[in-house]
């Protein structure tokens, strides 16, 4: 710590189904120390919460920061939450229902605690200390198994009436399209997520289209890495799949631009590992589809923090309100 003039410390926790990532973060959004521990969800909410409490305390101790200097703890959670009430309504992958997690953590730690959903904290992390560079109006889109989103509008995370704001993956792009996990058809995530792109290739093969991707379809190993690689080599099915994913995403970004007028889109998640092979066509398509005033000076960039965005942004929930 010598030579570093940090005055305020925050802890962020990103709780997932298999592991929890915990970080001690400065008021500038810099990670001072971090750790990852198994969630052990089979121990139930009580066991998991107890271990969150002790792991966070141990992390501060390892960094030689007295607990009294921790200004607050933020927690990102993958589930349906009552954010103002600090309650997990339900969290499918941990099997939790109606857990008043904020109050329980607050009484154990004796510091302010805030909770938010995992996509929102990841967006806040990127905007605070990653690709966002402190932008006041930014939209973060995570292309993974599904499509997640988080919206920062005029410097604040946007939640909406029931905390559903930012669920960009469930904007309908193809009314006659595939059934989504949410019950609607043709959501963005049925086309532009990794799962969606793989599904499109499987469909093409099943109707007899010729593609170099067929062996991966047959052995079940097809990934977006294969799809982007073959698209680059000119495979027609791979190209069509990338085009369709990019078109749907650009269409949604164009709509969001008119509604929210962001200056920045941050694209993250596994699919974004394609890098410029994704961003180049996406930028071009967005320029074609977005309204000319709304698209002016809008930047589209890759996320920078990877899977650390969640705990950094969770810490930011507290740092943010104290600015």
Nearer CB in complex with Zn ion: 79/86: 79
Nearer to Zn ion, 11 or 187 (CB): 187
Measured between alpha carbons, how far apart are the two ends of the chain, in Å? 23
DSSP-assigned beta bridge partners for residue 172: 187
Q: Which residues, numbered 5-44, are part of the site for Zn ion (CB under 5 A)?
A: none
Whole-angstrom Cα distance, residue 192 to residue 149? Answer: 13
> Which one, 175 or 234, has the nearer CB to Zn ion?
175
**Per-residue binding letters, 61-100, with Zn ion (x by CB under 5 A):** ----------------------------------------
Based on the shown chain and the rule CB under 5 A, indicate whether residue 290 belongs to the binding site for Zn ion: no
Q: Is position 170 an interface residue for Zn ion (rule: CB under 5 A)?
A: yes
Closest C-alpha to 143, from 217, 64, 198: 198
Of 40, 182, 258, 321, the one binding Zn ion (CB under 5 A) is 182
Q: Minimal distance in Å, beta carbon 246 to Zn ion?
A: 19
Name which of residues 184 to 243 contact Zn ion (CB under 5 A): 184, 187
Instruction: List strands edge to edge, sheet with 299-302.
Output: 156-157, 147-153, 138-143, 264-268, 299-302
Give me the least distance between CB of 183 and Zn ion, in Å please: 7
Give the list of residues 6+ apart from residue 147 with CB closer than 8 angstroms, or none: 141, 168, 169, 187, 188, 189, 192, 193, 196, 269
Close Cβ partners of 45 (under 8 Å, ≥ 6 residues apart)? 94, 96, 99, 101
Q: Is 170 or 320 the residue whose CB approaches Zn ion more closely?
A: 170
CB of 170 to Zn ion, least distance (A): 4
Q: CA 155 → CA 135, 270, 318, distances in Å?
A: 7, 27, 14
* Residue partners of 100: CB distance under 8 A and separation at least 6: 85, 86, 87
- Judged by beta carbon, residue 170 or residue 285, the one nearer Zn ion is 170
Residues 293-322 that bind Zn ion (CB under 5 A): none
Q: Which stretch binds Zn ion (CB under 5 A): 176-184, 258-266, 269-277, 289-297?
A: 176-184
Note whether 180 binds Zn ion by CB under 5 A: yes
Interface ranges with Zn ion (CB under 5 A)? 170, 180, 182, 184, 187
């Amino acid at each position: 710590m010598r030579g570093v003039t940090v005055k305020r410390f925050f802890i962020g926790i990103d709780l997932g189904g298999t592991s929890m990532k915990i970080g001690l973060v400065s008021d500038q959004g810099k990670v001072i120390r971090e750790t990852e521990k198994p969630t052990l969800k089979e121990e139930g909410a009580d066991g998991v919460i107890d271990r969150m409490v002790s792991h966070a305390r141990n992390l501060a101790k390892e960094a030689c920061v007295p607990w009294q200097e921790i200004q607050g703890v933020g927690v990102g959670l993958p589930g349906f939450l009552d954010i103002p009430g600090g309650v997990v309504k339900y969290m499918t992958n941990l099997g939790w229902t109606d857990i008043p997690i904020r109050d329980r953590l607050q009484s154990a730690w004796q510091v302010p605690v805030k909770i938010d959903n995992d996509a929102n904290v990841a967006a806040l992390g990127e905007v605070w200390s990653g690709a966002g560079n402190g932008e006041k109006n930014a939209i973060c889109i995570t292309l993974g198994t599904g499509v997640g989103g988080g919206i920062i509008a005029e410097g604040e995370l946007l939640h909406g009436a029931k905390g559903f704001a930012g669920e960009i993956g469930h904007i309908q792009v193809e009314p006659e399209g595939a059934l989504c996990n949410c019950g609607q058809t043709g959501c963005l995530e049925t086309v532009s997520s990794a799962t969606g792109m793989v599904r499109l290739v499987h469909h093409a093969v099943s109707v007899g289209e010729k593609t170099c991707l067929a062996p991966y379809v047959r052995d079940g190993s097809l990934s977006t890495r294969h799809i982007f690689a073959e698209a680059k080599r000119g495979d027609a099915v791979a190209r069509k799949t990338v085009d369709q994913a990019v078109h749907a995403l650009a269409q949604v970004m164009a709509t969001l631009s008119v509604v929210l007028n962001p200056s920045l889109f941050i694209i993250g998640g596994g699919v974004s590992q394609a890098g410029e092979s994704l961003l180049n066509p996406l930028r071009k398509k967005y320029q074609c589809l977005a309204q000319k005033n709304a698209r002016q000076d809008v930047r589209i960039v890759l996320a920078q923090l990877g899977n650390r965005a969640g705990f950094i942004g969770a810490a930011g929930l507290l740092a943010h309100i104290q600015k």
